[in-house]
A and B are shown apart, each in its own frame.
Chain A
Amino acid sequence: MTLNGWMQIFVILALVAAVALPLGTYLAAVAEGRVNFLRPVESVFYRLAGVDPDEPMGWKTYAAALMALNLLHFVLLYLMLRFQQFLPFNPAGIGPMSPRLALNTAISFVTNTNWQAYAGETALSYGSQMWGLTVHNFLSAATGIAAAIMMVRAFCAGGLKTLGNFWADITRITLYVLIPMAAAMTVFLIICGVPQTLAGPAHAITLEGAHQVIARGPIAFQEAIKLLGTNGGGFFNANSAHPFENPTPLSNVVETWSEIVIPFALVFMLGRMVRAPRQGYAIAAAMAMILVAAAGCVYAAEAHGNPLLAHLGVGHAMGNMEGKEVRFGTAMSSLFTVTTTGTSDGAVIAMHDSFTPLGGLVPMFLMELGEITPGGVGSGLYGMLVYALLAVFVAGLMVGRTPEYLGKKVQAKEIKLAMLAVLILGISILCGTAYALNTRSGLGSLGNAGPHGLSEMLYAWSSATANNGSAFGGLSADTKLLDYGLALAMVLGRFGFMIPTLAIAGSLAAKPKLPESAGTFPTDGPLFVGLLIGVVIILGGLQFLPALSLGPIAEHFVMLAGKVF
């Protein structure tokens, strides 16, 4: 580790804080309907869709609208991938996706996972990339943010029966937040050298006279939303490690920044909306502390590198550079690794499979926590709120009152739903991994033996369930078992978690908003931050420790003893 490396990490985090704070205030204004300079444009969409943006929705109506839209888009995307050969913008003449892979991919993009069991440059037409995947990058991001805003509304006042209008929310989030930010970032990336073209692949003759096909396409715009919307599905198989997606250290700073800026801003939005900014700061602090600690762990492990190589006298000054880009180095790669797995993004600038065991353990653990540091756009906030409710409940009794969070009493119904949400993550990840590792097909997918193979499988199920979408690499994911199994995991991880949290919002909304007093459990100070971190790690993380100790932890100690896989 070097001072320079740490400065790279902190400069990026400082840039995030500098923008996320005002952005949070802006998001609150959008959520409260105070931003409406594009009202005529909004109205066109509402009229076209035949919806009334002012109709108040209870949690069930809101959830139903959300599910209906996502289901519709799943079907559309599936059909688009199946019939891309007939659709325009296919200069390379790419054929249809197989039904199984199309199902997996459609679910993957609708659930904000962007798990890619295919290579984008050879499996998808430009058309599929643009109005298939890119559109869904917007839609799934807007869906997550809408769900989070709806949950925050439940804390804003007492006795609420309705929690806003889903159609108005996704329209406004897209129009006022996602499109402007993505547009600005697209321009910046183009300046950095990212291609944005509808021309087919470039053909070149190398110095040796060989014929080379260089894949390109409308990359910059997709790149922007893939990161801002914590989607992560790369245009290329190599994702953000590819020089056309992320050409320079400067573009990398912006890409890293763009993964976590909206998730943090949403937390500050919570503080604004409940008229208690400190509440937002406390949650953001808990997220940031886990994130920085995780980045430190990865950086330490990667900068230290593999001791076996050091013994062999291999040049080791830059740490473990296997699977990393020289233009990014270990510090930036470490930070990107935790920002991409601490959010539900899943873009990569380095191959996690090639990390040291402990360097690979951290991203896995961040996903298993349910991605709440700071988490996917929207999903990170509502995920963390679920843990906040559990933290308040477990420890809140210790102040001698029925626990309350942001003025709302936490009672049996909320606990039931919160435990259900947390349970779904554990069941999907652990059962999926254990099952796959005991089938011939699952074993056949593994690229390595021993604990490293276990890590590959555990990573895949964690990534799908947490809607991350990054891959550990090494795993051949396009098999029947993994296509269908991981598709199920993605649906469970997305909607199996989201629906209970929306139900929590519905239940909390109706409760009176209790005024704060000296007897109220304080949830805006360092004590709560520490408690929240503890509950996240103990309730959310410890259940994975047995599995992790057979994977990366075992691999680490075995490696120290001189054995690798």
Chain B
Amino acid sequence: MTADTISLFDATIIRRAALDSFVKLDPRHIIRNPVIFVTEAVALLVTLLGVRELATGRPWHFALAIAAWLWITVLFATFAEAVAEGRGRARAESLRRARSDTMARRLIGSGRTETEAVSATALRPGDLVLVEAGDLIPSDGEVTEGVASVNESAITGESAPVIREAGGDRSAVTGGTQVVSDWLVVRITAAPGNTFLDRMIALVEGASRRKTPNEIALDILLAGLTIIFLVAVVTLVGLADYSHTHLSVPVLAALLVTLIPTTIGGLLSAIGIAGMDRLVRFNVVATSGRAVEAAGDVDILLLDKTGTITFGNRACAALYPVVGVSEQELAEAAALASLGDETPEGRSILGFVRDRFGFSPERPAHARVVPFSANTRLSGLDIGPDQWRKGAVDSVMACLTEAAPAGAGVAVERIARAGATPLAVARNNCLLGAVELKDIVKPGIRERFEALRRMGIRTVMVTGDNRLTAAAIATESGVDDFIAEAKPQDKLDYIRKVQAEGRLVAMCGDGTNDAPALAQADVGVAMQTGTQAAREAGNMVDLDSDPTKLIEIVEIGKQLLITRGALTTFSIANDVSKYFAILPAIFVATYPELAALNIMRLHSPQSAILSAVIFNALIIVALVPLALRGVKFTPIGAGALLRRNLLIYGVGGLIAPFAGIKLIDVLLTTLGLV
């Protein structure tokens, strides 16, 4: 997807959204949002009254001006939602191109040897199809036969093809991706219209958007506040009657709409859609908004050691020569012994020797490579009569012609105790020393774990290594805890145990044996390269198959919640200033002394009321970028984060409208509009 190229104010999206915001005025749609629904109802009422005034020749300007701004308030709210949806739709378009109806070759007959051409939409789960180089895979499925490289860029945006093969953890294929070499037989697993691609499109478009638990709770709060202010404004009519004050409907409407939380009410759904969208832009697809929200709540991250905390392969980290052998001598021997070794470990030894000792030998033409075998557990190189060997310590020791020097055992033991793997190096059956191979912790990972700890999230490393090795990596990488010698069942048990303590767990996985744990975890991120079972079990799929992204997913979840909280606080704090704008204005006729409450020194009652309504409308559209982008999240701990956000959105929300309303009042007055 060309997701991240959509700018915040893409002209086509804005144009479409502007139109959509009118379509969304339909009360049947707007009733989902009680605050804006009340605003619309009030706007309609004031409009009708204004028109009546106009028709009967009474002063109508004020009523219609209020009505206009109330409509604008509603439109800004629907516009915010439309922009957020528009951005999602733009992403969906690029996905939909991959879904264009393809033809499939279904295997039929008893031996499944013949093929018939059918439309992809006619495929049912269980059907077998043949896909060859150049074909689009017609639907989601499992590879049952064959090995092929598949271009999944339509889904992931990554153009390098990936290998898909029968059996193992690389057997899932996705409809809409293209086979670039060889062939596959795929058993279809998804019903038409319910493929991975279909669901992704629905999700990014927001079509299947359901309100998340926090959103529902927030909706209730906002509806409650709306009722409270409705009561306050309606009863004010009675109190004003007693005080011989006549309050006109437009004035009451203005008071009501400025008090009810229109700002957050108008932006709430946009925030939710934009949160999903941020995740998609990050190449992660969540199956529900609930999962994104849960990500913000996570207390424990379960991380696989390999690929997440360390690079996938061990690498040479140090050389330990025996007494009487120089390090240079050992280095050269180790390099020569590894010349024929194409494994990542072997290459890491060559790289280490080249970087540290400036020795990079070429393999002589007459050299003979001794390959690694499970029996000998060593490999090496013969050049003429000279033999270089490296391998498991006991295997190398077994073929020595003379006893190993006394200190050799100590070095080996030290390497093992540090959690690394020792390899012995020998020349002509004479021990030269040991090579230390160890897992290389990814740079920067320690700092990220520290940031997570400040956010209150514990990291737990899961590894199949023994405790010694696991403890060493755990210390080096700075994880809070580890599970060593882990079997799939251990992961599941661990998740259940901490969940029983009331914690939320996130993990990622790709293999079929990860599926139960992925399903059990509160946030289960499956890798796009993983098996179909894993992808079904998780509630998110990472299209880049990068397990470190779990950390960013948590941040996106938190950002979503923070944005909602910040705008709610801002919206509620805004109310204080509106009282000071509107109350003196509406009572000043009865009690001229109440002008003392007009601390903003607004020009006239009419300009005060109008300014408050205009501010109330403009603040919605002014905050749309913030709602779409989200409030910045920094991992500084809950206390510090709260202090900062409370200062910006709480105190700021108290003060900003005073300035804003005054400014609008000055503008209205100078332009002679009131």
* B-binding residues in A (CB < 8 A): 158, 390, 393-402, 407, 410-412, 414-416, 419-420, 422-423, 426-427, 430-431, 433-435, 437-438, 443, 450-451, 453-454, 512-515, 517-522, 525, 527, 531, 534, 538-539, 542-547, 549-550, 553-554, 557-558, 560-561
- How large, as a class, is the contact surface on chain B? 35 or more
Question: Is A410 within 8 A of B503, CB to CB?
Answer: no
* Max count, chain A CB within 10 A of own CB: residue among B220, B573, B587: B220
Contact of B502 among A396, A514, A525 (CB under 8 A): A514
Q: Tell me if B400 counts as interface (CB < 8 A to partner A).
A: no
* Max count, chain A CB within 10 A of own CB: residue among B454, B557, B572: B572
Question: Is A438 within 8 A of B296, CB to CB?
Answer: no
Q: Which residues of B contact A539 (CB under 8 A)?
A: 225, 572
Question: Is B231 within 8 A of A427, CB to CB?
Answer: yes
Q: Which residues of A contact B641 (CB under 8 A)?
A: 398-400
Contact of A522 among B236, B457, B501, B638 (CB under 8 A): B638
Question: Is B572 within 8 A of A538, CB to CB?
Answer: yes
Q: Which residues of A contact B220 (CB under 8 A)?
A: 412, 415-416, 419
Question: Is A527 within 8 A of B639, CB to CB?
Answer: yes
* Max count, chain A CB within 10 A of own CB: residue among B213, B228, B299, B583: B228
Q: Which residues of B contact A434 (CB under 8 A)?
A: 235-239, 242
Question: Is A531 within 8 A of B646, CB to CB?
Answer: yes
Q: Which residues of B contact A514 (CB under 8 A)?
A: 299, 502-503
Q: Tell me if B361 counts as interface (CB < 8 A to partner A).
A: no
B575's closest neighbor in chain A, by CB? A542
B456's closest neighbor in chain A, by CB? A519
The verdict on A550 contacting B568 (CB below 8 Å), with A393-B217, A402-B297 known, is no
Question: Is B638 within 8 A of A519, CB to CB?
Answer: yes
9 closest cross-chain pairs (CB), A and B: A519-B456, A397-B565, A400-B558, A434-B238, A419-B224, A512-B502, A517-B456, A557-B593, A398-B565
Question: Is A423 within 8 A of B236, CB to CB?
Answer: no
Question: Is B591 within 8 A of A557, CB to CB?
Answer: yes
Identify which of residues 205-242 in chain B touch chain A, using a CB-to-CB cut-off of 8 Å. Answer: 213-214, 216-218, 220-221, 223-225, 227-229, 231-233, 235-242
Bound-complex Cα distance A106 to B584 (A)? 42
Question: Is A400 within 8 A of B591, CB to CB?
Answer: no
The verdict on A400 contacting B649 (CB below 8 Å), with A430-B235, A557-B596 known, is no
Question: Is A517 within 8 A of B299, CB to CB?
Answer: yes
Question: Can you list 17 pairs linking A and B with CB atoms under 8 Å apart?
Answer: A397-B214, A398-B645, A399-B558, A400-B641, A401-B561, A401-B638, A412-B216, A415-B221, A416-B220, A433-B238, A514-B299, A518-B455, A527-B639, A527-B642, A531-B646, A545-B579, A546-B583
Contact of B638 among A399, A412, A430, A557 (CB under 8 A): A399
Q: Which residues of B contact A433 (CB under 8 A)?
A: 235, 238-239
Q: Which residues of A contact B213 (CB under 8 A)?
A: 402, 411-412
The verdict on A520 contacting B217 (CB below 8 Å), with A395-B569, A435-B238 known, is no
Q: Which residues of B contact A390 (CB under 8 A)?
A: 221
B242's closest neighbor in chain A, by CB? A437
Bound-complex Cα distance A269 to B456 (A)? 28
Bound-complex Cα distance A515 to B498 (A)? 11
Q: Tell me if B594 counts as interface (CB < 8 A to partner A).
A: yes
The verdict on A397 contacting B562 (CB below 8 Å), with A402-B293, A430-B235, A517-B456 known, is yes
Bound-complex Cα distance A530 to B240 (A)? 34
Q: Which residues of B contact A522 (CB under 8 A)?
A: 638-639, 642
B578's closest neighbor in chain A, by CB? A542
Bound-complex Cα distance A560 to B593 (A)? 8
* A-binding residues in B (CB < 8 A): 213-214, 216-218, 220-221, 223-225, 227-229, 231-233, 235-243, 245, 255, 293, 296-297, 299, 453-458, 501-503, 557-559, 561-562, 564-566, 568-569, 572-573, 575-576, 579, 583, 587, 590-591, 593-594, 596-597, 633, 637-639, 641-643, 645-646, 649-650
- Give chain A nearest CB distance to B407 CB in angstroms: 47
Question: Is B227 within 8 A of A423, CB to CB?
Answer: yes
- Give chain A nearest CB distance to B512 CB in angstroms: 31
Bound-complex Cα distance A512 to B522 (A)? 15
Question: Is B576 within 8 A of A542, CB to CB?
Answer: yes
Bound-complex Cα distance A518 to B243 (A)? 54
Question: Is B583 within 8 A of A518, CB to CB?
Answer: no
Q: Which residues of B contact A399 (CB under 8 A)?
A: 558, 562, 565, 638, 641-642, 645
A540's closest neighbor in chain B, by CB? B228
Question: Is B646 within 8 A of A398, CB to CB?
Answer: yes
The verdict on A437 contacting B455 (CB below 8 Å), with A401-B296, A514-B503, A558-B591 known, is no
- Give chain B nearest CB distance to A426 CB in angstroms: 5
Contact of A431 among B235, B242, B296, B457 (CB under 8 A): B235
Q: Which residues of B contact A395 (CB under 8 A)?
A: 565, 569, 642, 645-646, 650
Question: Is A546 within 8 A of B224, CB to CB?
Answer: no
A159's closest neighbor in chain B, by CB? B502
Question: Is A437 within 8 A of B239, CB to CB?
Answer: yes
Question: Is A546 within 8 A of B239, CB to CB?
Answer: yes
- Give chain B nearest CB distance to A23 CB in angstroms: 31
- Give chain A nearest CB distance to B450 CB in angstroms: 11
Question: Is A547 within 8 A of B236, CB to CB?
Answer: yes
Bound-complex Cα distance A402 to B213 (A)? 9
B573's closest neighbor in chain A, by CB? A538
Q: Known A-B contacts: A423-B228, A426-B231. Give 8 more (CB < 8 A).
A: A393-B217, A395-B650, A396-B565, A414-B217, A433-B239, A514-B299, A522-B642, A538-B575
Question: Is B569 within 8 A of A394, CB to CB?
Answer: yes
Bound-complex Cα distance A534 to B227 (A)? 20
Bound-complex Cα distance A453 to B243 (A)? 10
Question: Is B221 within 8 A of A518, CB to CB?
Answer: no
Bound-complex Cα distance A362 to B239 (A)? 19
Q: Which residues of A contact B457 (CB under 8 A)?
A: 517, 519
Bound-complex Cα distance A521 to B229 (A)? 29
A458's closest neighbor in chain B, by CB? B239
Bound-complex Cα distance A539 to B576 (A)? 11
A401's closest neighbor in chain B, by CB? B297
B233's closest neighbor in chain A, by CB? A546
Question: Is A438 within 8 A of B241, CB to CB?
Answer: yes
Question: Is A520 within 8 A of B638, CB to CB?
Answer: yes
Question: Is B593 within 8 A of A158, CB to CB?
Answer: no
Bound-complex Cα distance A427 to B572 (A)? 20
A521's closest neighbor in chain B, by CB? B638
Q: Which residues of A contact B643 (CB under 8 A)?
A: 527
Q: Which residues of A contact B565 (CB under 8 A)?
A: 394-399
The verdict on A550 contacting B243 (CB below 8 Å), with A390-B221, A402-B297 known, is yes
Contact of A544 among B232, B575, B650 (CB under 8 A): B232
Bound-complex Cα distance A400 to B456 (A)? 11
Bound-complex Cα distance A560 to B596 (A)? 11
- Give chain B nearest CB distance to A544 CB in angstroms: 7
- Give chain A nearest CB distance to B504 CB in angstroms: 9
A427's closest neighbor in chain B, by CB? B231
Q: Which residues of A contact B573 (CB under 8 A)?
A: 534, 538
B645's closest neighbor in chain A, by CB? A398
Q: Which residues of A contact B638 (CB under 8 A)?
A: 399-401, 518-522
Q: Which residues of A contact B296 (CB under 8 A)?
A: 400-402
A535's closest neighbor in chain B, by CB? B572
Q: Which residues of B contact A416 (CB under 8 A)?
A: 217, 220, 224
Q: Which residues of B contact A435 (CB under 8 A)?
A: 238
Question: Is B243 within 8 A of A451, CB to CB?
Answer: yes
- Give chain B nearest CB distance to A553 CB in angstroms: 7
A560's closest neighbor in chain B, by CB? B593
A396's closest neighbor in chain B, by CB? B565
Q: Which residues of B contact A542 (CB under 8 A)?
A: 575-576, 579
A561's closest neighbor in chain B, by CB? B593
Q: Which residues of A contact B242 (CB under 8 A)?
A: 434, 437-438, 443, 453-454, 550
Question: Is B593 within 8 A of A546, CB to CB?
Answer: no
Q: Which residues of B contact A546 (CB under 8 A)?
A: 232-233, 236, 239, 255, 579, 583
Q: Which residues of A contact B221 (CB under 8 A)?
A: 390, 393-394, 415, 419
- Give chain B nearest CB distance to A289 CB in angstroms: 17
Contact of A394 among B228, B239, B299, B572 (CB under 8 A): B572
Question: Is B568 within 8 A of A394, CB to CB?
Answer: yes
